[in-house]
Amino acid sequence: MVTSAVPAAGTTPLPVLVSKSDIKPTWCPGCGDFGVVAALEMALKRLKIPPHETVLVSGIGCSSNLPHFLNTYGFHGIHGRAIPVAEGIRWANHSLHVVVTGGDGDGFGIGAGHFVHAMRRNVKITYVAMDNQIYGLTTGQASPTSTMGAKTKSTPTGVIEHPINPIGLAIASGATYVARGFSGDVKQMADLIAGALQHNGFAFVDAFSPCVTYNKLNTFDWFRQRVYKLESAGHDPSDIGQAFARAQEWGDKLPTGLFYKTDRPTYEDLEEVLQAGPAARQPAGLVGKESVLDEFL
């Protein structure tokens, strides 16, 4: 599903700042995703990024409904395929701020391959994953980040698989901005998303976003008792070794904040075709087609 930030001719002028749309969220009361959409709106407003320069892309899941709730361009895709759609949008039009929103099932399950390859390419997009350690939309099955031993609809005797570590995976795969927020701290998450939007490269924000209906283990209270801020612990986000070490922390202490940040050329900087500008601004057709065809004759 595609939604548009541009009004039809003769209607109200374009809004200056991103705001909530007329579509009301359908999330359960108390869902952590309310904190994420609030943080994203705050970040876009702070940076004064107009709606017509913003595209929100999602896959399938409770969290993937987010593009409907802000007055930007939006693309609601299929399960696990939000990132390749976002890559295509970014390469077609470099003037757009492309933000992917989704959940741990969508991004780290069926979409895990796209997640890894977009990071190693260092495509300039922002990816906010609402990580609730459960499949919420399909009513409570274990997800790729479910804790071992967690009893869910699909694992009534407890999860026996080791959970994916999104932060460690992102650092290892080449993401150049890696952070984690918590829905219970909207201000910190807004700060992290704002930093991600300004970053020139693949920016990943893992958002602890509790599912209040189906996950009775990883609740708001459970997180509040464990989260601490990396900036208050003297963490150096330029040190990849420190970042990896912090990424392994799980249990009594859960770090939030900016784990890792570095600068390296983006895919757009290195791809020969895109060096000539975004695809939408380039002439259609094959340049020098005669010489190319001659090679095969």
pLDDT digits (tens, 9 = 90+) for 185-243: 999 999 999 999 999 999 999 999 999 999 999 999 999 999 999 999 999 999 999 99
- 104-116 pLDDT, tens digit each: 999 999 999 999 9
Region 35-46 average pLDDT? 97
Pair type for strands 227-229 and 254-261: parallel
Tokens of 259: 């784990």
Q: Is the pLDDT of residue 3 over 80?
A: no
Instruction: State residue 278's pLDDT score.
Output: 84
How far is the C-alpha of 119 from the C-alpha of 131, rounded, in Å?
A: 18
- 124-152 pLDDT, tens digit each: 999 999 999 999 998 999 999 999 998 99
- Decide: residue 33, CB within 10 A, 0-12 exposed, 13-18 middle, 19+ buried: buried
Topology, domain 2-8+15-294: Rossmann fold (3.40.50)
Q: Is the pLDDT of residue 289 over 90?
A: no
**Residue pair 83/102 in contact by the 8 Å Cβ criterion:** no
- Residue positions counted in the chain: 297
Higher local confidence (pLDDT), 16 or 53: 53
Residues above pLDDT 90, as percent of the chain: 82
Q: Is the pLDDT of residue 294 over 80?
A: no
Pair type for strands 227-229 and 2-3: unpaired
**Residue pair 68/21 in contact by the 8 Å Cβ criterion:** yes
Looking at every residue in the chain, the average pLDDT score rounds to: 91
Taking the model in full, what pTM does it have?
0.90
* pLDDT band at residue 290 using 50, 70 and 90 as cut-offs: low
Closest residue by Cα to residue 18 from 65, 69, 83: 69
SS (H, E, C) 65-103: HHHHHECCEEEECCCCCHHHHHHHHHHHCCCCEEEEEEE
